Amino acid sequence: MAYSRRSLLLLLLLQVLLATTTLSSSDNLPETGNDVVVEVNRSQREFDYFALALQWPGTYCRGTRHCCSKNACCRQGSDAPTQFTIHGLWPDYNDGSWPSCCYRSDFNEKEISTLIDGMEKYWPSLSCGSPSSCHGGKGSFWGHEKHGTCSSPVFRDEYSYFVTTLNIYLKHNVTDVLYKAGYVASNSEKYPLGGIVTAIQNAFHINPEVVCKRDAIDEIRLCFYKDFKPRDCLGSKDLTSRKSCPKYVSLPEYTPLDGEAMVLKMPTDE
């Protein structure tokens, strides 16, 4: 399954990273040779921490109606997204808000060509794209691309951003943690939210944030300081603050669109 060239270009343009300072040393962050042209909206203050947002395709894809080449909700067989996938690594402020509409800089597509396979598998778009409210409303490959462009000054270029996010994801297999605790995809079982949170706490020693769509787990977020050491997410101190999830939650199985719906192609698919 390949992205159309236009989608890919769009994706890359929208995900460009801004950096003004060099990276602090960390094994997560490989140096890359080329400096990129950077522009930063200096009236926007630097963010406080990262949230790695992981989405559960079984929940998201239940609402899918359209297929396009980049929509992972239409993948079948061994391509099917059956584990938590990356939604984004988002910069956040401690007050619960986040920076938005950061400037873009020129981008060299070749810089991340070695990561495309991993991104298609672990960081797929689960839709045919929703418009962004930034940069003149040009369509976005990911719903939250704005978060990816505001990570200055932690990342010096887009390659660092993508490879770091993939690395953090691969080191924190939430799907595996839940499966080992007996929380497997099911259209009939309900699981205690507290048990799911405890399993993640035991595995990674941080309090996650859990987001639900009705009673189904939609996202699990893991939070990190700017040096990528784990920290608690905001609003994760006690179960009562997880407003959007009930006490018992489901982890729906992934079901691709049926053959009839597959016929509906989006005009954005080339």
Ligand X SMILES: *[C@@H]1O[C@H](CO)[C@@H](O)[C@H](O)[C@H]1NC(C)=O
Determine the residue with CB nearest ligand X.
Answer: 176
Q: Please report, in angstroms and rounded to a whole number, the separation of the first and last CA atoms in the chain.
A: 13
Q: Which of residues 32 and 44 has its CB atom nearest to ligand X in the complex?
A: 44
Is there a contact between 171 and 95 (Cβ–Cβ < 8 Å)? no
Q: What angle is formed at CA 51 by the lines to CA 46 and CA 53, rounded to 5 degrees? A: 140
Q: Which of residues 43 and 94 has its CB atom nearest to ligand X in the complex?
A: 43
Q: 147 an active-site residue? A: yes
- Residue 51 has φ and ψ, to the nearest 5°, of -120, 125
Q: 172 an active-site residue? A: no
Active-site position among 31, 120, 135, 147: 147
Is there a contact between 109 and 5 (Cβ–Cβ < 8 Å)? no
* Angstrom distance (rounded) from CA 200 to CA 220: 10
Token pair of 142 as six digits: 């990911």
| Contact string (CB under 6 A) for ligand X, positions 12-41, x = contact | -----------------------------x
Name residues contacting ligand X, limited to 233-262 (CB under 6 A): none
> Which range touches ligand X (CB under 6 A), out of 22-30, 89-97, 175-183, 248-256?
175-183
Q: For ligand X, which residue of 4, 108, 167, 173 counts as binding (CB under 6 A)?
A: 173
* Angstrom distance (rounded) from CA 202 to CA 188: 26
Q: Which of residues 41 and 268 has its CB atom nearest to ligand X in the complex?
A: 41
Asked if 44 is part of the footprint of ligand X (rule: CB under 6 A), the reply reads yes
Name residues contacting ligand X, limited to 59-118 (CB under 6 A): 83, 101
Q: Which of residues 25 and 97 has its CB atom nearest to ligand X in the complex?
A: 97
Tally of helices (H runs) and strands (E runs) in the chain:
8, 7
Active site residues: 87, 145, 147
